[in-house]
A and B are shown apart, each in its own frame.
Chain A
Amino acid sequence: MKLLTHNMMQSHVKGISRRFPLLIKPETVRVVEQEFNPDFVRRMLGRIEYEALQQAMTWLGHEGKLPKDCPSEDENNEDILKAIHHALLEVEMVEGKLVCPESGREFPVKNGIPNMLLNEDEV
């Protein structure tokens, strides 16, 4: 699971108010190189929650490369864009858990696929 996906996800358990961000408890993490597309990264800058992305990188043990503040959407510095591209698309959690920030419900991640199925009483 890529961090771009994690950044867009929220918990959908019934009756809670704080749904984002899902906490990450990683077991296996890998880095897979992806094609760099500055347009896409710029487009996503307005959509991502930057603090949550920084937090997620710390959880996965890859902190340090990201700039401190979220760059604006017309950022042209390639190094900064590449650092964000790396965080969003290249660092992946293969095995581990996602945890709902309020209810503490755990969603297991196997082979890179999070299991987001709820029980009938949680819908």
Chain B
Amino acid sequence: MRPEHTAPPEVFYNTDEAKKYSRNTRIMEIQATMSERAIEMLCLPEDQPSFILDIGCGSGLSGECLSEQGHHWVGMDISEAMLDVAVSERETDGDVQLADMGQGIHYRAGVFDGAISISAVQWLCNADKKGHSPPKRLYQFFKTLYSSLRHGARAVLQLYPETPDQMELIMYQATRAGFSGGVVVDYPNSAKAKKYYLCLFAGIQQGQAQVPAGLTDEMDTATNTDRMRTKDFRSAGGVKNATRKQKVIARKERHLRKGKTTKHSENTKYTGRQRRPKF
């Protein structure tokens, strides 16, 4: 079940949930990887400290990545519990504020060199209160974000869209507010590592103005069992036409996955070969 369906963000990210973001190493690792990728796509000038806005900064994990690269940042988040972790436990360098991005970015025009957001913007697609209208809130968010950015700056927003329609709505409101740019999909063939980023340009870019290419990983389908499920394998006749060796290897892997033992766990050139005939 998606967290957006359970409760509004300020309720969902309570003290227990906030603890995960400072204790759970897996969550922290994923967040850090996404933050680094987002910062990379901002294309900030090198060897120069920049001033960045972090939208949905939470416990300050993404901000820590910004600080490591020598940038100054301010963050905003709607969950008090998460901000308490940022201030009390993580002692972040950047200032954090309790604010709702759907009510607009409360900063002066042209102050930020860039903006990042990790796993936050999809929350705007939900109407959690009576007066909420997702398109209006998205527009208010993008409009005020656009004006708070310097001319030529970028905003990279990592998000988890629920449906293609949702992505379309978000992109439509961003374009309406004046942004150009597009969607970057990293690892499109992987179920778990697949990540969506909105790479938005505020005003005309210097030099290269192309949306960066998504990352891919050729090793994703490298295991033997996965290969048996791929299109090429099926079009060649599937399991029916698989060689004896392929079948044996697949069966062995299946058994090992289930925790059963096999006689020879390693595959050699003799795997799946018939024995020489006996007289």
Contact = CB atoms under 8 A, between A and B. Distances in A.
Interface in B227-278: none
Interface string A31-48: 000100101100110010
B210 interface: no
Contacts of A116: 76, 97-99, 106
Contacts of B87: 111-113
A5 B72 CA distance: 10
A20 interface: yes
A63 B70 CA distance: 29
A12 B106 contact: yes
A114 B51 contact: no
Given A113-B83, A113-B96, A114-B97, A40 B72 contact: yes
Contacts of B88: 111
B99 A117 contact: yes
A39 B106 contact: no
A49 B109 CA distance: 12
A10 B148 CA distance: 11
Interface residues of B, number: 33
Contact of A11 (B48, B78, B105, B106): B106
A113 B97 contact: yes
Interface residues of A, number: 28
Contact of B108 (A20, A39, A123): A20
Interface in B57-95: 70, 72, 74, 76, 78, 80, 83-84, 87-88, 93, 95
A4 interface: yes
Contacts of A82: none
B176 to A, nearest CB: 18
A115 B131 contact: no
Nearest to B53: A8
B95 A5 contact: yes
Contacts of A56: none
A123 to B, nearest CB: 5
> Which of B80, B97, B131, B144 has the most chain A CB atoms inside 10 A of its CB?
B97
Interface of B: 48-49, 51, 70, 72, 74, 76, 78, 80, 83-84, 87-88, 93, 95-100, 103-108, 110-111, 129-131, 140, 144
6 contacts: A4-B72, A8-B108, A12-B104, A40-B49, A43-B49, A116-B76
9 closest residue pairs by CB, A with B: A12-B106, A116-B99, A40-B49, A5-B95, A8-B111, A115-B98, A120-B131, A114-B97, A12-B104
